[in-house]
Amino acid sequence: MAHTVSRRSVLAGAVAGAVTGTAWPGAASAAQRSADAEVTAVTGVTVIDAADGTRRDQNVLVRDGRIMDVGHLHRVPVPRGARVVTGHGKFLIPGLADMHTHATEIDPTDPEMYVVNGVTTTRQMSSSEAVRGWRREIEAGARLGPRWTVGSAIVDGSPSLWEGLGAPYVSVADAAQARTAVRRQRKAGADFIKTYTRLSRGSFHAIAAESRRLGIPFAGHVPDLVPVTEASNAGLASIEHLFEFWYDTSRDEERLRREIARVRVDGGDYAGWMTKTHPLEYAAARTYDPGKARRVFERLARNGTRVTPTLTVHRTADVPQDVAHDDPRFRYVSADTLAYWQWTTENIYLKGRTARESEERRELFGLRGMLAGALAEAGVPLMTGTDLGTSYLLPGFGLHDELELLVQAGLSPAQALRAATLEPARFLGHSDAGTIARGNVADLVLLEADPLRDIRNTTRINSVFVRGRLIDSDGRRRMLAEIEAVADRPVTGDIPAAAGCACHGGRLRG
């Protein structure tokens, strides 16, 4: 469901205009196309990627959107006339990826907010005409933004948790409807099929079979009635969030699955689903069996099933009372977005929650960190994702929060960076991305400090290359200032009646 808000036209006149005055204009003018043909050299930098580790004293040459060469400064000379970016004392990493987003049009600055934070790849986990429009503008050179993969409408069971909540969804009651939904979503242009929570077991397997037949990936939630290993064996490309793992890894799995099968939720009652399933999820987490977990994780690793833990959104859902409402980064979003976040917190996460449930959810969030660390230790390939569109999650900024949470969960900084670079590139079939190598797309982030010493150093961004186009430190400051100015401007058109995350969404006040 696409909604148009006037901020989009405001952005076109403000952010794009401001970016034109920076080192990397939003529109590809004749002068910029000429500049693209020239070489930009990052000199004497320490290069870090998941394939080759740490390489010191490197020169990295960029031309025509690609890495022309990379190597020791004594081997790779800087061509005469090249634009030089001094990398001495700095660290160069591949562009980052947010593999779980639900961008909306409440604020239309998502593309710019991503790249100014070094996020050059994103995966939209639900259908979005807005994002498809942004993608066309980005590919045409009319604005800056990441490479975007866009999924189908949510394919959920019947009744669907999404009835009346505004997100694009398809409700399927049986296998035949499920197969039809796959065909229609593929024809509509989806890059992959998004599965959801209330699918029946038969419908889920019909989606798997039809997706294989048509050659389109399917990814998303593991439905309540489908074991994680069964979903992995069926070909689910990536598992989103850490909800369903507890049942497969519980000593009490058989009883808990009988209880899950008895849960009934009315259409659109997302808060009711969270309330009814919480005691079961909590009981499963408290009966975690490391031996069972090891076997489950080994299966996922053998199958190559990716997991996107989205610890950022689990924090928002489990302990919303801990989320700071005065984060200075919130100046980059509008009052409308802040109001939506508050509504969702009150009406989805905290609705009907008792003090006891709050205590249990705090414990559960800690256990989710343990689970993410155990998955990584077992060799399950992880990917970073934030669930943008959920309360208090910001485009680009949230990806750095996710990296920090993954390291707190037990991943090394190198493992966390791999989850944000190489694994997403491999998953998406981008053989020319995710590492810093000759011929690869020049999506790069220049940092002021070593992220392997402290993962929070990924926020200390000096410059960003987006497909070879440089946003230097002055350009970043100007872009952020313009995004803030756009967020401050009053809306002159309609605000969406319902918008937000297509995983844990809600309705804006009318």
How do residues 54-93 score in pLDDT, each as one tens digit?
Answer: 999 999 999 999 999 999 999 999 999 999 999 999 999 9
Q: Quick one: 379 exposed, middle or buried, by C-beta within 10 A (0-12, 13-18, 19+)?
A: exposed
Q: Is the pLDDT of residue 180 over 90?
A: yes
| φ and ψ of 123, to 5 deg | -125, 115
Residues 6+ apart with CB under 8 A from 217: 191, 192, 193, 211, 237
pLDDT given for residue 59 in this prediction: 98
Q: Is the pLDDT of residue 30 over 60?
A: no
Q: Which residues of 60-97 are buried (b: 16+ CB within 10 A; e: fewer)?
A: bbbbeebbbbbbebeebebeeebeebebeebbbbbbbb
Parallel, antiparallel, or unpaired: how do β-strands 169-171 and 238-240 relate?
unpaired
Q: Is the pLDDT of residue 441 over 70?
A: yes
Please state, for a pLDDT cut of 70, what percent of the chain lies above it. Answer: 89
CA distance 309 to 241: 5
pLDDT given for residue 107 in this prediction: 82
| φ and ψ of 200, to 5 deg | -75, 165
Query: If you average pLDDT over residues 84-109, what whole number do you get?
Result: 94
- Split at pLDDT 50, 70, 90, the class of 19 is very low
- CA 151 centroid distance within chain: 12
pLDDT given for residue 105 in this prediction: 74
CA distance 210 to 190: 14
CA distance 235 to 212: 8
* Range scoring the smallest mean pLDDT among 8-17, 353-362, 399-408, 458-467: 8-17
CA distance 228 to 224: 10
| φ and ψ of 220, to 5 deg | 145, -145
Cβ-based neighbour number of residue 27 at 10 Å = 15
Residues 6+ apart with CB under 8 A from 126: 102, 151, 152, 153, 154, 167, 168, 169, 194, 502
Query: If you average pLDDT over residues 461-489, what whole number do you get?
Result: 96
Residues 151/193, Cβ–Cβ less than 8 Å: yes
Given the structure tokens 């048509």, which residue do they identify? 214
Domains of the chain by range and CATH? 7-94+435-488 (2.30.40.10)
Cis peptide, bond prior to residue 424, ω within 30 of zero:
no
Parallel, antiparallel, or unpaired: how do β-strands 444-447 and 461-466 relate?
antiparallel
Alpha-helix residue ranges (DSSP H) falling in 319-410: 335-344, 355-377, 397-408
* Range scoring the smallest mean pLDDT among 98-112, 274-288, 308-322, 389-403: 98-112
In the DSSP assignment, the letter for residue 346 is: I
CA distance 407 to 16: 35
* Range scoring the smallest mean pLDDT among 157-166, 373-382, 411-420: 157-166
CA distance 2 to 104: 8
pLDDT given for residue 37 in this prediction: 64
CA distance 255 to 390: 32
Closest residue by Cα to residue 156 from 237, 309, 248, 265: 265
Cβ-based neighbour number of residue 510 at 10 Å = 6
